[in-house]
Amino acid sequence: MKFSQYFLPTLKEVPSDAVIPSHILMVRAGMIRQLTAGVYSYLPLGLRVFKKIEKIVREEMDAIGGSEFYLPALSPNELWAETGRLEDYGDDIFRIKNRELVLAPTHEEVFTSIAKPNLISYKNLPQIWYQIQTKFRNEPRPRGGVLRGRQFTMKDAYSFDATWEGLDESYNKNAQAYRNIFTRCGLKFFTVTAFSGAMGGSESEEFMVEAEAGEDTVVISSDNKYSSNLEVAVSFSENIGRKNSGLEIEEFHTPNIKSIEELAGFLKITDKSRLAKSRLFVIPAKSEGKKDEYLLALVCGDDEFSETKLAKIFAGIRPGHPEELFDIAGAEAGSIGPVNLKNKTVKIIADLKLKDADELISGACKNDYHIKNIDLKRDVVGIEYFDIRTVKDGEETVDRSSKLRMTKAIEVGHIFKLGTRYAEALGAKYLDVNGKDNVIIMGSYGIGIERIAAAYIEQNHDKDGIIWSGEISPFDIHLISVNKKSDNIKAEAEKIYNELITAGYEVLFDDRDDISPGVKFKDADLIGVPVQVVVSDKNMKNGEIEIKERRTGDRYRIQISDFNQKIKEIIGNINKN
């Protein structure tokens, strides 16, 4: 590709709306341009990278026996209403106002609607279906360029199985394909077990790339054997134990003391573990005629609640509103506790660290009062214990073999065991060997194409620009001719360009006439092709060509006669790493 003919608008300045490195560099390197919030045009260089990622994805999906589809983005409202997701998605789904249509944010419904009349016998199963297609999501906070767009490309795959063992097998195949894909894309990744939330699935895993720009907080052990989303992470946590002094509970006045910090200051103590933090939750009634239930949860004063862990134990749980607090506990948020609750039906639970603990201090369920010497064993009948705390940076793994580190990560892929949720809602059934009707068991597997590119750049850049390597690099070689209009250097460079192309390399040839060498070098570093080849008058005089490795900055002067061999070696080495 000749630079002079290619549309490759590089920028010196940092775009004003870009904050994270990948966004800044994708715009500066001429890969993308924003059209409107969260909506991007892919310029030729960007498209080249995305297509390479798609190629890898396609090859790995085909390798596990996936069949490629291409389904429409427009789909009828009724289909989404049938699974209840028109409502679930709310404002996050794009709806076409003058037609009863939505722009699909994902394709479980549409794929299942194809499965229903076609996968009717056990003989038709299992199947893995996939597509690489544009998705539309009205993300409330599009950010980071293509990292979180409102229009983006996803590879979404769906498995259809007759049995749960079959689902396990399909899921494992997809997981392996994902590992292959991310490895080939040059990402350093890890997986975390995810809470499947609104998708309504059971087991699910997210593929994560560590990056400061990431929106997910994750925990990784220093030996890399354990990784988890922060909300569900577990650590070694010691029970705070009993003091067994047998002291009776005692109410005391704590005017205007609302937080644990204020309480610790008031009592002049630094160890906050026995200042039990109490929070009231509501578990909505599961069926009509049933009543909402109330839950008071306790953690140590120096811990935080994990609402995700709570939601895993008590489905649908939500924090109590201020009015509810007064009605149920008899006090405001800063003054509630497990003793003297106004409503006696409140279920009380505590974190495992508090198991059977005594000499606790908590709210008195009376504004501006606290109670001390609470003994959970003695004073709180029917209390149950669960792991409901959020782990902290630096804690040990459960088996105490390694330390946990908290960091930020980007989710690049997500695999779910959906089970029968969609097939059930849409009535997708198959006949088993005995001629009996059964609901098809499904999995769904998604990868963000542009997000892979963004995540790669987050992990592979320096102050000068992007550092590509391996299969997703837009080109193998960036050939620069340092020529003046008058000399024959450009003709020499063009000869090398043609030879490299004949040898099978993808070459970006900076043949521009009116551009200074300095600008060409800066552009080359910004665009980040792994190998730069410089043809200049100075070197040519000695019969030499210069090669620079983008990542290391290493430069080599090569005799023209050795060039073909050397370039092969260098590219081979880069792709090995």
By CB under 6 A, name the one of 337, 413, 419, 474 that touches ligand ATP: 413
Nearer to ligand ATP, 363 or 446 (CB): 446
Nearer to ligand ATP, 73 or 333 (CB): 73
Residue in this structure with the two tokens 């009231």, named with its chain if needed: 280
Residue in this structure with the two tokens 């005017």, named with its chain if needed: 255
**Residues 326-343 as b or e (16 or more Cβ within 10 Å = b):** bebbbbebbbbbbbbbee
Nearest-approach distance from CB 216 to ligand ATP, in angstroms: 7
Nearer to ligand ATP, 159 or 235 (CB): 159
By CB under 6 A, name the one of 26, 103, 154, 187 that touches ligand ATP: 154
Residues 6+ apart with CB under 8 A from 340: 330, 364, 365, 366, 371
Nearer to ligand ATP, 415 or 500 (CB): 415
State the angle between helix axes of 44-63 and 164-184 in degrees (0 to 180), rounded to the nearest 10.
140
Q: How many residues in total does the chain contain? A: 577
Stretch binding ligand ATP (CB under 6 A), from 70-78, 165-173, 442-450, 529-537: 442-450
At 571 the three-state DSSP class reads: helix
Kindly state whether residue 214 participates in binding ligand ATP, applying the rule CB under 6 A.
Answer: no
Kindly state whether residue 210 participates in binding ligand ATP, applying the rule CB under 6 A.
Answer: no
Nearer to ligand ATP, 155 or 548 (CB): 155
**DSSP state for residue 272 in the 8-state scheme:** -
By CB under 6 A, name the one of 66, 301, 446, 470 that touches ligand ATP: 446
Q: Label the pairing between strands 531-536 and 477-482.
A: parallel
Nearest-approach distance from CB 338 to ligand ATP, in angstroms: 35
How far apart, in whole angstroms, are the C-alpha atoms of residue 414 and residue 175? Answer: 9
Q: What is the DSSP string of 477-533?
A: EEEEEE--SSSSHHHHHHHHHHHHHHTT--EEEE--SSS-HHHHHHHHHHHT-SEEE
Q: Label the pairing between strands 347-351 and 293-299.
A: parallel
Residues 118-147 that bind ligand ATP (CB under 6 A): 137, 139
Kindly state whether residue 23 participates in binding ligand ATP, applying the rule CB under 6 A.
Answer: no
By CB under 6 A, name the one of 411, 494, 511, 549 that touches ligand ATP: 411
Kindly state whether residue 414 participates in binding ligand ATP, applying the rule CB under 6 A.
Answer: yes
Question: Contact at 8 Å (CB) between 27 and 15?
Answer: yes
Nearest-approach distance from CB 147 to ligand ATP, in angstroms: 6
Is cis: bond before 126, omega within 30 of 0?
yes
Nearer to ligand ATP, 139 or 359 (CB): 139
Nearest-approach distance from CB 301 to ligand ATP, in angstroms: 31
How far apart, in whole angstroms, are the C-alpha atoms of residue 276 and residue 272? Answer: 8
Question: Contact at 8 Å (CB) between 460 and 186?
Answer: yes
Residues 447-476 that bind ligand ATP (CB under 6 A): 447-448, 450-451
Kindly state whether residue 369 participates in binding ligand ATP, applying the rule CB under 6 A.
Answer: no
* Size of residue set near ligand ATP by CB under 6 A: 16
Nearer to ligand ATP, 52 or 353 (CB): 52
Residue nearest to ligand ATP (CB): 448
**Which residues make up the interface to ligand ATP (CB under 6 A)?**
106, 137, 139, 148-149, 152, 154, 411-414, 446-448, 450-451
